[in-house]
Structure 1
Amino acid sequence: MRNPKYVSKPFSQIFLILAVLFLLMGILLFFGVMSPSKNSMVQDASIMGTVFSTIGGLFAIAAFILSWISVLKNKLHNTLHSEGINIKGYVESVKRIKSISYRRQSPYRIYYAYSFDGNTFNKKSYLLWDKPRQNKGDEIDVYVDKMGHSTICI
């Protein structure tokens, strides 16, 4: 499996795992395979099964939404790369995002700026898993559209 380009992808995977676990526990509680502990506020297994299944369903919906966001961002990136207006921007900084870790590796992100239609925009790239060659002040190709979306291709 490839490393994710967007932060929403690993979160969708986490929510999907939680959805499966909650749905499984809800089904087991609902059919009486598992029972609530004696210290539980709710002693009826079918009510707890319904609650766990509902929470699992909500996690599944959240996983679907986050996965769909990743697909839309990737589609926008590909569209901008093929049909966008190519302009020159410059790298403001390259940073390693240590707060994000995926398979014991932290990604990099390029912060860049460009001018378009008389306005200057400051943006950040998608997650880069190899250290980029670009340094502060380097010129970079930026693909933009009239809606204000932009992307870079490394």
Structure 2
Amino acid sequence: MARGGQGLARVAVVVRAGAAPLWWLGVCAAGVGLFIPGLTGRRIGVYAGAALFLVAAAVVAAARRRRYTALARGAARAGRYDVLQDRAVTARTWRRGHRWWLLLGFLAALGTNAAVPVAGGLLLAGCGAGLRLKAAWLGRLERAQEELLWVRVDWLARGGRPAG
């Protein structure tokens, strides 16, 4: 960066970057589970998956809210030489950095279809839905405070989480 500037990515975009892949991989794994009878049967798997979807969405959406509100209270303005990263670049970078975790989650969801069909896929989809809800909450928080929350790109490279 020129003259001491730094790259900044928007927090809500970083949180939302994982929502779509988790959702779609979970839906695909659940769809495959519909064709496998499994040990417990499809009906139990679908009911268990629906319960897991709701619980996972609620837990993921509620996790780390205090950290994000503390981050919002301590937010500073971007400097003159700071570079604000585009949404597409932020999402692509996050997905590229987490592709192996996404693949492992998808394979685990497919593996659970042998025991409890559909449940693992709906759990994965519930995590994606929870991330989308959390990103929407962050957007409302930004609108209420009339400030966008930004995080340094090099901090994301180390930990991967904007408030971690």
Calculate the TM-score normalised by the size of structure 2. Answer: 0.35
Higher relative contact order (CA 8 A, sep 6+): 2
Larger radius of gyration, structure 1 or 2? Answer: 1
